[in-house]
Chain A
Amino acid sequence: MKAILFLSLAFLKKRKRQTIVSTLGFAISVTAFIVMSSIMFGFQKYFIQQVIDIEAHISIKPKEEIAEDRLIRRVDNESLIKALGSRPKEKDKILGWRDIMKRLEEHPEILGVAPHLESKGILKYGAKEKPVSLIGIEPFLEARTSVIERFLEKKNLSSLETHKDSIIIGKIVARDLGITETGKRVVLTLPNGQTKIMKVVDFFNSGITNIDASRVYIPLKTLQALLERVDEVNVLIIRIRDVKRAEALARELRAEIKYEVESWQKAYLNFLKIFKIQNMITYMIVFAIITVSAFGIFNIIMMTVMEKRKEIAILMAMGYSSKDITLIFLCIGLITSVLGGLLGFIFAYGILEYLANLDLELEGLLKSKGFILDRSPYYYLLGFVLSFLFSLIASLYPAYRASKLNPVEIFRSL
Chain B
Amino acid sequence: MVLLELRDITKRVGQELILKRVSLRVETGEFIAIIGPSGSGKSSLLYIMGLLDRPTSGTILYRNEIIEWKDAVINRLRNQKLGFVFQFHYLIPELNVLENVMAPQLKAGRSYGEAKERALELLTRLGLDAKSKRQVFEISGGEMQRVAIARALANNPEILLCDEPTGNLDTKNTQRVMEIFEELNQEGTTIVMVTHDMSLAERAKRVIEMRDGEIVADR
Contact = CB atoms under 8 A, between A and B. Distances in A.
Interface residues of A, number: 28
B2 interface: no
Interface in A104-123: none
Given A10-B99, A412-B43, A317 B52 contact: yes
Contact of B50 (A14, A310, A317): A317
A65 interface: no
Nearest to A318: B104
A319 B106 contact: no
B31 interface: no
Contacts of A317: 50, 52, 78, 84, 90
B47 A408 contact: yes
B52 A10 contact: no
Q: Interface on chain A toward B: helix, strand, loop, or mixed SS?
A: helix
Given A14-B93, A411-B47, A2 B112 contact: yes
Interface stretch (A46-54, A181-189, A320-328, A382-390): A320-328
B93 A3 contact: no
A407 B151 CA distance: 17
A3 B52 contact: no
B90 A313 contact: yes
Interface in B3-27: none
Contacts of A407: 52
A7 B47 contact: no
Nearest to A414: B88
Given A13-B94, A14-B93, A412-B43, A315 B103 contact: yes
A315 B107 CA distance: 10
Nearest to B103: A318
Contacts of A322: 71
A210 to B, nearest CB: 62
Nearest to B86: A411
A284 interface: no
Interface in A307-348: 310-311, 313-324
B90 A6 contact: no
Contacts of A10: 92, 94-95, 99
Contacts of A14: 93-94
Interface in A1-53: 2-3, 6-7, 10-11, 13-15
B63 to A, nearest CB: 18
A63 to B, nearest CB: 75
Instruction: Kindly state the interface size class of chain B when it binds its partner.
Output: 20 to 34
Please indicate which of the listed interface residues B53, B103, B104 has the most CB atoms of chain A within 10 Å of its own CB: B103
Given A6-B106, A317-B52, A311 B90 contact: yes
B53 A3 contact: no
B106 A3 contact: yes
Interface in B92-146: 92-95, 99, 102-104, 106-109, 111-112
B28 interface: no
Given A11-B94, A13-B94, A412-B43, A318 B107 contact: yes
Interface string B31-48: 000000000000100010
A310 B52 CA distance: 14
B79 A319 contact: yes
Contacts of A310: 88, 90
Q: What 6 A-B pairs are tightest by C-beta distance, nearest first?
A: A319-B79, A3-B106, A314-B90, A14-B94, A319-B78, A318-B104
10 contacts: A3-B106, A7-B92, A7-B94, A7-B95, A310-B90, A315-B103, A317-B90, A318-B84, A318-B103, A408-B47
